[in-house]
Amino acid sequence: MRKTFELTHLKIKRPRLVEAVRRDVKKYLKRERNKTLPAGVDYWDFNCKFGHTEQEAREIHVSQIGKCIDEVDRKSLTSFYLEILATEGVRNKAELPDKKGADSAA
List, for residues 31-74, the tens digit of each pLDDT value: 999 999 999 999 999 999 999 999 999 999 999 999 999 999 99
Task: Map out the domains of the chain as residue ranges.
Answer: 2-90
Cβ-in-10-Å burial (0-12, 13-18, 19+) of 30 comes to exposed
**Largest Cα–Cα separation, the chain:** 75
Please tell me whether residue 95 adopts helix, strand or coil conformation: coil
102 pLDDT higher than 90: no
Q: Model-level pTM? A: 0.81
**Residue 104 binned pLDDT confidence (cut-offs 50, 70, 90):** low
Among 79, 87, 86, 76, residue whose Cα is nearest residue 21: 79
**Average pLDDT in the chain:** 91
